[in-house]
Homo-oligomer: A and B are copies of this chain.
Amino acid sequence: MKAELEFLQNHSLTSVLRREMETLVLSGEFAPGERLNENSLAVRFSVSRGPVREVCRALAERGLLELVPNRGVFMRRIDEDQAAELYDVRAGLFASAARLLATKATVAQLSELEGLLERMEEAVRMHSLDLYYPLNLEFHDSILRFAGNARLHKAYSELVKELHLFRERALLQGGGLEVSNVEHRRIVKALQERDAAAAMEAAFLHVLSGKSRMTLPAGTGYPAGQAAGSGDVV
């Protein structure tokens, strides 16, 4: 009962709708560039168009939707160039987190990262993307979390979501997994040695490396990954 009261006080209809629509947009239900009908959305969520419009504006501000005057809201279409730009931003944020963490990581945190490394190594040995992806996601997220900067963490998460709209990206294949984890190990090593500059460098290069893995070399025959449920790019 008390929890319900608090819920009503902290979550307005709009804020709930916001989260609903964010997950809807990120779910991949709409194709890139597809137009969203305000009325349909309003009917779908049983609210009027006002809140829907507000949420659309907010999501557009975050780069998930695109607004065109008098024409409506469209799913943000992220091409390869834009994705490449996003990777550079992400690299900076991740590098910042790694650098900050280098000077303050606790032993427990380092061993937790070490544990993730080992589990990812196991996944590499098994050539299992399904095992690797969630661990990889947790690894990155842990570094952001351990860095102890909520704003940095938030900025990073939002960027990852935005990058998630780039659907044409390739899934990590074969040797890519191993390379990725070697880079992970390099980051953790720098953290263990409390070498801030090295940690930053390793983290930055890791994301940039992911950027170059983003698109498959032409003619490999692999289809563009749908990446549904992968949760993160490597």
Instruction: Give A50-75 interface residues, CB cut-off 8 Å to B.
Output: 50, 53-55, 57-58, 60-62, 69-70
A150 to B89, CA, bound (A): 10
A15 within 8 A of partner (CB) = yes
A95 touches B152 (CB 8 A): no
B155 touches A89 (CB 8 A): yes
Q: Which residue of B lies closest to A96 (CB)?
A: B92
What total of chain A residues lie within 8 Å of the partner, measured CB to CB? 40
Q: Which residue of B lies closest to A93 (CB)?
A: B92
A50 to B54, CA, bound (A): 9
A146 within 8 A of partner (CB) = no
Residue of A14, A53, A151, A197 ringed by the most chain B CB atoms within 10 A:
A151
A79 within 8 A of partner (CB) = no
How many copies of the shown chain assemble into the complex? 2
Q: Pick the contact of A69 from B15, B54, B152 — CB < 8 Å?
A: B15
Give the contact stretch, choosing among A4-12, A122-130, A177-185. Answer: A4-12
A204 within 8 A of partner (CB) = yes
Which residues of chain B are within 8 angstroms of A91 by Cβ–Cβ distance? 96
A89 touches B152 (CB 8 A): yes
Q: Pick the contact of A12 from B70, B85, B95 — CB < 8 Å?
A: B70
Instruction: Give A89-119 interface residues, CB cut-off 8 Å to B.
Output: 89, 91-97, 99-100
A53-B54, A54-B57, A58-B61 given as contacts; is B99 within 8 A of A204 (CB)? yes
Which residues of chain B are within 8 angstroms of A61 by Cβ–Cβ distance? 58, 61-62
Q: Pick the contact of A151 from B15, B89, B201 — CB < 8 Å?
A: B89
Footprint of B on A, CB under 8 Å? 9-12, 14-15, 50, 53-55, 57-58, 60-62, 69-70, 82, 85-86, 88-89, 91-97, 99-100, 149-152, 155, 197, 200-201, 204
